[in-house]
Amino acid sequence: MSMTATTEGAAVRPRLRWGLPAYVVLVLVAMTLALVVPKTGYVLNISLQATTYAIAVLGLTIVLGLCGQINLAQAAFFGLGAYAVGIGQTEYGVNFWVCLLLGTCMAAGFGALLGASTLRLGGHYLAMVTISFQQIVTLVLINWIPVTKGPDGVRAIPRPGFLADGSTYLAFCIFMLALLGFLVWKLRDTRLGRAMRAVRDNELAAGVAGIDVYRTKVTAFALSAVLGGIGGALFAGGFSYVSPDQFSFAESVVFLTMVLLGGVASPIGAAIGTGLLILIPEWLRFLKSIPGLYLAIYGAAVILIVLFMPDGIWGFVRNQFDRFKRAAGSVLGGDTLQLSGGGTGSDMVMEVRGLSKHFGGLKAVDEVDLTIRRGGVHALIGPNGSGKTTTLNVLSGLYRATSGTIMLNGRDVTNLPPHARTAAGLGRTFQNIRLWRSMTALENVMVGAERPGNPVGGDSAALLARSRAALAFVGLEDRADEVVANFSYGHQRAVEIARALAGDPALLLLDEPGAGLNSSEKVELRDLLKRISARGLTILIIDHDMTLVSEVAQHITVLNFGRRIADGYSADVLKHPDVIAAYLGTAPDVAA
Ligand code: ADP
Ligand code: MG
């Protein structure tokens, strides 16, 4: 079937045709209400707080929701924006907008710095670093009195002239929230958004697919801080007074609770969570006469929501909604996958000399030479524990070689990180499947197609066509829009291969693709390998199934105890006495 009607948005996330117009109308109605409905100062303040907070919470949608990184310093970024607008205007007479810009840039800078710490830290340590940053900012705000005015805070912060009226200012904040929310919504299905989700779901696979994991995290932190900064700047203009306690660690926790409560996966969740956490305390105000009761009910409500709606309120609503609608028939890509085989360089796609990988005293890979000719299938075999996976991990950059050199397409890649090797033309699958489980099959494959160095990368229509063609090639085009976590083992393998194929690599590394497959799936795999090879893509395959290996591979390299014990044409190698001895002697589980 031919490619028809494949606009990127429609294909990635089934989208309602009236979604955007409805959104615009909704925002216009909200802005009009803000402008014309008479309100008390109290209502105005609550509304201003909710809109400016929601902008900061949107930042957490990016860094935590999309990229999976914890950030317990959002109030600090909020504070940077707020103080920039406060001090800049009152002390230095700088224009509001310039202050907003400066504050946002400052937040972005510190956000990137915080993101940079993810190079060495993750999980709990990252949480601690963000808390430390939060505490430092609080300390500076309190103690750097000549600049920040200390605990007294900054007063009489003006707004721009045309926004001087409170209602007008609120309408403007609603507009900003709507605009930024829309951008965050859009971000999810951009290349960067997919990269962030891939990093969140499986960092290792993201690197191997060609994503610069570190840069992606730094970007997520910086963007999150930008939203924190903008929110804070608007907050300062809204309340005309800022003080350090408004930007404390406790507020960062509130921001985090807001996003978790509403649902991290979507900007809608950010808005819902913020609204609720600002409104619940107001609703419970009548309880304040009984000390403690108010807090207990508030806490219990939050715990109950998080307990029974682990994906947040919006996630819960979406899940209910998804039960009813079944994805409409998707557009098929047809068997149109083009594989260039990495062009027409030298005869050798890969040349490995004296490759070693030691783990302490264990020589997992020991002085191995490997020459892979362009075109055809090269098998790497050997008993369990002989160093096959380790070899592949060193080739793809997950491990650093202890010694030796690796040339890919005539280029020395020995010291490159995984994503750079992928950019240089490497594709691989894993012995234990590593997909991004919360993403659809198509999204998984699209990230593969976005491999830096793949010519199709820049053009979104071509990218989508290629991704669908790769799925069609492995026979899964009709499941493109399903989340891969629900796939059978065999289908997950197929998606993993499609992901690598979509990147149009020069060399495809397959680590035991047949493991765990039933016999009919194995037949399909053999057929698939032959079809890939027929299109000119070079394959290096590890497999235990000697029938499969002898059928598809022209060349075989045999490892035993990390050393190369045989290498050459398949028929010769399989007859080699050392090979027979190694297999019969140490690995009785190998199918002969
Ligand atoms: P194969 O894939 O051929 O079954 P591996 O490459 O997985 O073998 O393992 C080769 C040897 O290296 C094994 O003895 C294994 O225990 C060891 N090894 C693999 N990875 C590591 C690691 N990260 N740290 C320490 N030892 C390892
Ligand atoms: Mg292995």
Domain locations in the chain as residue ranges = 1-33, 38-321, 342-425+505-592, 436-504
Please give the distance of CA 591 from its chain centroid, rounded to a whole number.
39
According to CATH, what is the number of the domain 38-321?
1.10.3470
pLDDT of residue 488: 92
Predicted model pTM? 0.85
CB 540 within 8 A of CB 546: no
d(CA 502, CA 480): 14
Q: Name the pLDDT band for 585 (thresholds 50, 70, 90).
A: low
Please give the helix or strand (H or E) that residue 303 lies within, else none.
Answer: helix 293-308
Closest CA to 223 of 64, 369, 338, 343: 64
Tens digit of pLDDT for each residue in 257-280? Answer: 999 999 988 999 999 999 998 988
Cα radius of gyration (the chain): 28
- Ligand 2 center–CA 421 separation, angstroms: 21
Tens digit of pLDDT for each residue in 22-43? Answer: 999 999 999 999 998 888 889 9
Top mutation candidate among 204, 389, 390 for ligand 1, by most atoms within 8 Å of CB: 390
Which residue minimizes the CA distance to atom 5 of ligand 1? 387
d(CA 85, CA 239): 11
Tens digit of pLDDT for each residue in 321-359? Answer: 776 654 444 444 446 788 887 766 678 899 999 999 999
H-type alpha helices, 74-157 = 74-92, 96-116, 123-143, 145-148
Amino acid present at 420: A
* Mean predicted confidence (pLDDT) in 116-136: 86
- Ligand 2 center–CA 545 separation, angstroms: 13
d(CA 379, CA 358): 23
Structure tokens at 171: 């309408």
Q: Name the pLDDT band for 316 (thresholds 50, 70, 90).
A: confident
Return the C-alpha torsion angle 512, 514, 515, 518, nearest 10.
Answer: 180
CB 401 within 8 A of CB 357: yes
* Mean predicted confidence (pLDDT) in 559-581: 90
Atom of ligand 1 nearest to the CA of 388: 3
Structure tokens at 318: 């979406």
Which residues crowd ion ligand 2, with CB under 5 Å? 389, 431
Structure tokens at 380: 């790497």
Cα–Cα distances (Å) from 379 to 27, 248, 542, 572, in that order, read 60, 59, 6, 13
Closest CA to 55 of 141, 220, 188, 175: 175
- Ligand 2 center–CA 380 separation, angstroms: 10
d(CA 521, CA 534): 20
Top mutation candidate among 359, 391, 542 for ligand 1, by most atoms within 8 Å of CB: 359
3-state class (DSSP) for residue 350: strand
Report the Cα–Cα distance between both ends of the chain, in Å, rounded: 41
- Ligand 2 center–CA 398 separation, angstroms: 14
d(CA 257, CA 532): 49
**Dihedral class, residue 127 (left if φ above 0, else alpha if ψ from -120 to 50, else beta):** alpha
CB 386 within 8 A of CB 562: yes
Burial of 519 (0-12, 13-18, 19+ CB in 10 A): exposed
pLDDT of residue 344: 63
- Indicate if the pLDDT at residue 467 is higher than 90: yes
Top mutation candidate among 356, 362, 431, 560 for ligand 1, by most atoms within 8 Å of CB: 362
pLDDT of residue 451: 92
CB 107 within 8 A of CB 225: yes
Residue 273 CB: number of other CB atoms within 10 A? 30
pLDDT of residue 329: 40
- Ligand 1 center–CA 542 separation, angstroms: 14
Q: Hey, which residues does 379 pair with through a beta bridge?
A: 541, 556
- Ligand 2 center–CA 293 separation, angstroms: 58
Structure tokens at 354: 């004296």
The architecture in CATH of the region 342-425+505-592 reads 3-Layer(aba) Sandwich (3.40)
Which residue minimizes the CA distance to atom 14 of ligand 1? 385
- Indicate if the pLDDT at residue 47 is higher than 70: yes
- Ligand 1 center–CA 436 separation, angstroms: 24
- Indicate if the pLDDT at residue 12 is higher than 80: no
- Indicate if the pLDDT at residue 180 is higher than 60: yes
DSSP class of 332: P
- Among 195-199, 419-423, 452-456, the range scoring the smallest mean pLDDT is 452-456
d(CA 58, CA 231): 9
Which residue minimizes the CA distance to atom 27 of ligand 1? 359
pLDDT of residue 15: 55
Protein residues whose CB sits closer than 6 Å to any atom of ligand 1:
359, 362, 364, 382, 384-390
Q: Which residues contact 261 (CB under 8 A, 6 or more apart)?
A: 272, 273, 276, 277, 302, 305, 306, 312, 313
Tens digit of pLDDT for each residue in 60-119? Answer: 999 999 999 999 999 999 999 999 999 999 999 999 999 999 999 999 999 999 999 887
* 592 vs 247, residue with greater confidence: 247
Q: Compute the half-sphere exposure of residue 252: CA atoms within 13 Å on the CB side of its CA.
A: 24
Angle made by CA atoms 91, 97, 100, in degrees to the nearest 5: 75
pLDDT of residue 268: 93
Q: Which residues contact 582 (CB under 8 A, 6 or more apart)?
A: 382, 383, 386, 558, 560, 565
Which residue minimizes the CA distance to atom 22 of ligand 1? 359
pLDDT of residue 343: 67
